[in-house]
Chain A
């Protein structure tokens, strides 16, 4: 519906979904655990990055407590699943609770603007992590019966489906009236209000949508990992991964976070092997460089190159 990008967004969505269709063949062609694990991490990262992109890239609200929604999704899904609820229902319940908490948190946190919102959400995320860490200090391990029937391929297809849903959701948003309103709020909240945009409602919608996808990703995490500390998915590094991937690729675009996630995971794997502890430092420096030199990430770099080529 929006005049800009609408068609190019659709083309990118088609290209990415076609790529996912190819990835669906991997378990048949190369059923190797290391390959599937690696691709699964990329797909999970795409979902996390796109979900963060909705609230930060489209609605312009830099939420640094994103991990809390991922964590809530994981916590609820894991608990219900181990108690005997089917994983699909357990994940849906986790995503629902993540969405509801987003609405509650949003009503309070959206009283803050800009950097204050970022700091406020960072604090809320940390509070959730410490609370979960204190209340549930024990490691969570799947029952032996579940482990004996564990199929990596199932997790892989769930990750693929979730990444596809995230891309489809953002593509639909980018073309919609709702997405246009969010972008108006991002550009200038006061001017958006003066043009009839109910900014608070749109910001809450963006946060809820973002949290729903992050909650689903949390469900995947709970389904995928055999054992982990319940506070682990609440760790801020999930937020910062999503931030980095989105910025590297291009914040507020459909394909940016996908490119960023692929590059980030591949690079991280490579750097972690070569440089062990230095990769965090390298990513930190990369992030600063991008924000300073190329705030639009890879997508902007590509556009500039194309422009220079034509000239």
Chain B
């Protein structure tokens, strides 16, 4: 076993840090309090992603023939960590490069790849993911948004909810029902958001402006060629996407950075003094590092080309534990962080509190760990 970074990996991280230091505006920390989906950050992300693309740092983990450099999952992890620690200046585009792009690379038709991959690679696209519905959250397979086949087109009717980025996205990765067969009756359509019949309403939220939306589909006509993969193949494709997304956000890294920042402020104020505050901070650090190692163990296996299963749920829940403890530490010992005093910490809090909900609720991860890692017998139905 070797727990050290290679020289090449360290150099890659240094390069990213230097680029962030040179590129981000002086008031970035205050600015990045706006959620990653806010209009302000989305606009900034366009120019930032353009810069990354010019430097070969937007899609370095993509295959060479598609404009990437074929860098391994360790580099992908370093990139994701540095961006997330910085407050994700790529805005919603992180999703494009982490999993929309890779999913299109794996399942897209040549036409779809030709249409959608270049704008992603240039930092000019913004996608939203239409999975959840009012009646279908954790139970995604119960979704009801319907795509009726009509010759060469589908007619889509239904509603999505909690859709991040929908207000500004140009394309929706839409999951909808093409038959009544629960999991096998679901298909994916790639739908331009300016298609007639789509209405978006923003939902005011705790976590910042522009983050979550309702999206209504009223007789939206989509050509059959917009379908990703086969009819009924969505469940398999989503599984592939979500595995990428779940590892895509290295939340432990920002949690640790926020914890370090909070401790630095407390020290400066002469308040990192008693035993209680030190014990709490150390507990939080133990959890961020446990989550980091659980994630690295999976990155390592990915780097070696091994299949990843339920262990990713374990890493994900470790991250939820870490986020929770760091958020709680800061609320308790540095409450002014949630007012105006420390924008970086406020930014962390708003992103941290959804760790156990967004991209699949934590209790579902626990069910997966219980069933597939521990092999516990299932609850009788």
- Specify whether A and B are partners: no
